[in-house]
Amino acid sequence: MGSNDILSDQQISDYLEDLPHWREIPGGIAAVFQTKTAASAIELFSDIAGAAEMDNHHPDVDWRYNRVFVTTTSHDAGGRVTTRDIALARRISEQARALGATSRPGLIRTVEIGIDTADRQQVAAQWAAGLGYKQQEDGSLADPNHRLPAIWFQKTEDPNPNRLHLDVWVPFSESQPVLEALGSESTELDSQYAPSFTVATDRQGNRFCICTEQDR
């Protein structure tokens, strides 16, 4: 395969079998590494930056004390996962192991905001202007700086009274503890679409979905 070939979901899954630190998220792959000290986390951050420059392929990296959150996608391929992402992920994992960092896949989360509407065009421009977002080919809105949650519009002629909901993306392999924790809080769970997504409703009627990459 070429260095920038777009991968199918099955190909991503096959590659990730050899990359145990990484999980698929919407439009990318992600990992979380924990080091013994903040200084080691900064060193890992620096190593990732060096690898990114060498590959001319730059992931999103977030340093939080002794944890480093990494997401990589190919923006020049329409925000899809390519073989370049796999190569970079492998290099980053090697650097993390060299520093003695541990993998924390249970911390991987991606949040999107869903808005019920019968007419997306009537409201999309206001949201884009207010947040400084850009409209995507599929009609969703995205932060051009890749920091804030994406917004997508769920077309419905009969919007739910709670028109906004969060889609919380969790790797399928890490989703069961999340659902069990919600169940222990007496949260109402609608699992008819699981494992693709499970609709959770809190005690005050607010909805959010626990989404995974399975059955997409």
In which domain, by residue range, is 203 found? 110-211
pLDDT per residue as tens digits for the range 181-193: 999 988 899 999 9
Would 127 be classed as within a structural domain?
A: yes
Residue 183 has which token pair? 């169940």
Q: 123 and 30 in one domain?
A: no
Q: At what angle do helices 38-55 and 83-98 cross, to 10 degrees?
A: 150
Q: Cα(116)–Cα(157) distance, rounded to whole angstroms?
A: 9
Query: How many domains, the chain?
Result: 2
Residue 85 tokens, joined: 């992402």
- The residue to which tokens 């699981």 are assigned: 194
The last residue of a domain, from among 90, 107, 124: 107
Domain membership flag for residue 4: no
Please say if the pLDDT value at position 69 is more than 70: yes
Residue 78 clears pLDDT 90, i.e. is over it:
no
In this structure, are 20 and 92 located in the same domain? yes
Identify which of 130, 142, 111, 87 has the alpha carbon closest to the alpha carbon of residue 209.
111
The per-residue pLDDT for range 95-153, each reduced to its tens digit, is 999 999 999 999 999 999 999 999 999 999 999 999 999 999 889 999 999 899 999 99
Contact 207, 160 (CB under 8 A): yes
Kind plus residue range of the DSSP H or E element containing 102: strand 102-103
Alpha helices (H) along the chain: 9-16, 38-55, 83-98, 120-131, 172-184
2 band by pLDDT with thresholds 50, 70 and 90: low
Over residues 42-63, the pLDDT tens digits come to: 999 999 999 999 989 999 999 9
